[in-house]
Amino acid sequence: EFVTRKITDGVARIKTGKQKKLLLGNLDARRDWGFAGDYVEAMWAMLQQDAPQDYVVATGRTTSVGDFCRLAFDCAGLNWENYVETDPAFLRPAEVELLCGDPAKAKAELGWEPKVDLEKLVEMMVESDLARHQGVVAVK
């Protein structure tokens, strides 16, 4: 399970009374998280090129697991520090502290850059999980 998914699902479960705490590992680990839809657009742009090349598809911005928690709990009107606990069982022995991509080549050659910022992505994820846990289904 991806930590982002674990966090937003945990927020929804806590908000709806289905869970009391969210147990996580290293809250200081920093990652470059982005919206899958933006990444699909980058892949499409790559496929339009005359010759294949390597591109880094990333936001170029890192956020700690703890800050992701804060953003997610804020979306639900909750203080993350009241619900998040670290558990050694979730610590990785060879944790990489920082993972960040440089999308400069994709921007320069493909004209691609992410459209959905992290705050909007977190909001989308929390709203989706809240709707699911509240039994609300969106009709389009």
- pLDDT, tens digit (0-9, with 9 covering 90-100), for 60-116: 999 999 999 999 999 999 999 999 999 999 988 887 888 999 999 999 999 999 999
Average pLDDT, the chain: 95
- Does 99 map to a domain? yes
- Does 96 map to a domain? yes
pLDDT band at 137 (very low <50, low <70, confident <90, very high): low
- Does 55 map to a domain? yes
Give the pair of three-digit tokens for residue 117: 């910022």
Tell me which of 138 and 36 has the higher pLDDT: 36
Q: What are the φ/ψ torsions at residue 116 (nearest 5 degrees)?
A: -95, 115
Across the chain, which distance is largest between two alpha carbons, in Å? 53
Q: 96 Cβ partners below 8 Å, 6+ apart?
A: 29
Closest C-alpha among 7, 131, 26 to residue 87 = 26
- Does 138 map to a domain? no
Averaged pLDDT for residues 7-13: 98
List the domain range (segments joined by +) for residue 51. 3-133
Predicted pLDDT at 96 = 84
- Does 139 map to a domain? no
Tell me, what CATH number does 36's domain have? 3.90.25.10
Predicted pLDDT at 26 = 95
**Number of structural domains in the chain:** 1
pLDDT digits over 12-64, tens only?
Answer: 999 999 999 999 999 999 999 999 999 999 999 999 999 999 999 999 999 99
- Does 20 map to a domain? yes
Averaged pLDDT for residues 116-136: 94
- Does 41 map to a domain? yes
Helix segments in the chain, DSSP class H: 3-15, 36-47, 65-75, 104-110, 118-133
